Amino acid sequence: MLKKLLRAGFAALALAAVASPASAAYPERPVTLIVPFAPGGSTDLCARIIAQKMSDILGQQVVVENRGGAGGSLGAGVVAKATPDGYTILYATVATQALNPALYKKISYDPIKDFTPISLLVNLPNVLTVNPNFPAKSVQELIDIAKKDPGKYSYASSGNGSPLHLSGELFKKLAGVDLVHIPYKGSGPALVDVIAGQVPIQFDNLPSSIEHIKAGRLRALGVTTAERVPNLPDVPAINETLKGYETYSWNALYGPAGTPKEIVDRLHAAGVEALKDPGVKQKLADATAVVVGSSPEELADFTKKEIDKWTPIVKESGAQVD
C-alpha cells in the first residue's frame, strides 16, 4: 500500500511539473533590457526610468545594457537572435522597427518575423524650431517663405536617415516645399549651428530642445505629434496646419520571436503597471514622454502601420545607409 501511495505521489509531482512550465516561475534571474543606443539620450533615459520600476514589480533586476551602433540595428539584432525565454528583451524605437529595414541595404533581422510584441510604452514628441532671427513665426509662414524660394533654405537633423531627418521629409512632402537637408552627427552639433544661425531650421527631439525654446534661443513653430503637448501648451501641433502630419519617436518592448505567451503577459503587466506609478509618470513627463502602455496585439498592429507609413517616405527621400 505504501509503495502504491509513493508511486501515486511521484506521478502527481511529475504531472504537476509538466502542467507548470518554467515560464510559470518567470523571472528567476535578472532580465537584460537591450537599449540599442548609447547612454544619455532620451531613449536611454526613459528605458532606465521604466526598467527600475519593472525591477520592483518583477522581483528581479531589469538590467539596462546599451548596445549602440548602426542606428539601433546592432542591438535589435542581438535580441532577434536571443533565446526566447524572456531574459533578453528589446527597448525598441521607430528607428529599429520601422526605419532601419528600409534604410539599410543589409540588416540582420526582420522587424515583424523576428520579434514578439509586448507593449508600446511611450511616445516622445519631436519639434520644428527655427533660429529666432528667422522671419517665420508659424508653420504656415514657414511654408509660405519656403514656397517663394524653393531650395534656398535648409533644415538640420541629427543624421541621415534618422527619425528627425524623415520628419523633415514628411513635412516637405505634405507642405509641398523644397528644403535642403543638412545631416549632423547627433542633435547636439545641430542645435549649436541652429542657435548660432548657421542653419535656420531644425527638426529635433523635444527633450533636447525644450530648454533652449524656453530660454528664447530657439523659436518653436510646432510639435510633431497629432496634438499639443503639456510641456509646451502654447506651441501648436504641425497637424493643425498640415492635416495628417504626425511623427514622434516611440519606445516599445519586444521579445525574440517565439517568446511564450505567459512570459509576454508577465512583462506586459509589469510594463503597464510601471507606467501607472506616480513617480514614473512624473519622471517621464519631465522628459516630455507621453505614456501609452498598449497591449501586445495593439503593438503588433501599430508596428505594421509604422512600417507601411515610413517605407515609402524613406524611399522618396533617397536616404540609404550601407
pLDDT in tens, 195-239: 999 999 999 989 889 999 999 999 999 999 999 998 899 999 999
Last residue within a domain, chosen from 190, 224, 240: 240
Give domain status of residue 15, yes or no.
Answer: no
Q: Which of 48, 30, 31 is nearest to 39 (CA)?
A: 48
Same domain, 254 and 224: no
Same domain, 254 and 112: yes
- Partners of 33 in the β-ladder: 64, 89
Same domain, 254 and 118: yes
Task: Name the domain count of the chain.
Answer: 2
pLDDT-derived band at 159, boundaries 50, 70, 90: confident
pLDDT-derived band at 188, boundaries 50, 70, 90: confident
Last residue within a domain, chosen from 240, 271, 287: 240
Give domain status of residue 10, yes or no.
Answer: no
CB-based contacts of 106, cutoff 8 Å, min separation 6: none
Same domain, 313 and 212: no
Give domain status of residue 271, yes or no.
Answer: yes
Instruction: Domain of residue 169: give its range.
Output: 126-240
List the CATH number of the domain containing 115.
3.40.190.150
Same domain, 202 and 261: no
Give domain status of residue 200, yes or no.
Answer: yes
Same domain, 140 and 219: yes
Same domain, 289 and 273: yes
Q: Report percent pLDDT > 70 for the chain.
A: 92
Provide the pLDDT for residue 322.
64
pLDDT in tens, 110-124: 999 999 999 999 999
Distance CA 210, CA 127 (A): 9
pLDDT in tens, 298-311: 999 999 999 999 99
Q: Which of 217, 117, 121, 203 is nearest to 155 (CA)?
A: 203
32 compared with 17, residue with greater pLDDT = 32
Give domain status of residue 159, yes or no.
Answer: yes
pLDDT in tens, 238-247: 999 999 999 9
Give domain status of residue 294, yes or no.
Answer: yes
Give domain status of residue 99, yes or no.
Answer: yes
Same domain, 131 and 219: yes
Asked if 184 and 158 touch (Cβ cutoff 8 Å), the reply is yes
Residue 251, pLDDT > 90, answer yes
Average pLDDT over residues 27-46: 91
Same domain, 103 and 130: no
Same domain, 110 and 177: no
- Helix/strand/coil (H, E, C) string of the chain? CHHHHHHHHHHHHHHHHHHCCHHHHCCCCCEEEEECCCCCCHHHHHHHHHHHHHHHHHCCCEEEEECCCHHHHHHHHHHHCCCCCCCEEEEEEHHHHHHHHHHECCCCCCCCCCEEEEEEEEEEEEEEEECCCCCCCCHHHHHHHHHHCCCCCEEEECCCCCHHHHHHHHHHHHHCCCCEEEECCCHHHHHHHHHHCCCCEEEEEHHHHHHHHHCCCCEEEEECCCCCCCCCCCCCEHHHCCCCCCCEEEEEEEEECCCCHHHHHHHHHHHHHHHHCHHHHHHHHHCCCEECCCCHHHHHHHHHHHHHHHHHHHHHHCCCEC
Q: Which of 178, 166, 93, 172 is nearest to 321 (CA)?
A: 166
Residue 109, pLDDT > 50, answer yes
Asked if 216 and 194 touch (Cβ cutoff 8 Å), the reply is no
Provide the pLDDT for residue 22.
54
List the CATH number of the domain containing 184.
3.40.190.10
Same domain, 304 and 273: yes
Q: Report percent pLDDT > 90 for the chain.
A: 75
Asked if 214 and 129 touch (Cβ cutoff 8 Å), the reply is no
Residue 6, pLDDT > 80, answer no
Give domain status of residue 151, yes or no.
Answer: yes
Provide the pLDDT for residue 318.
81
Last residue within a domain, chosen from 219, 240, 261: 240
The answer to whether the Cα torsion of 199, 200, 202, 208 is positive or negative is positive
Same domain, 191 and 290: no
Tell me how long the chain is.
322
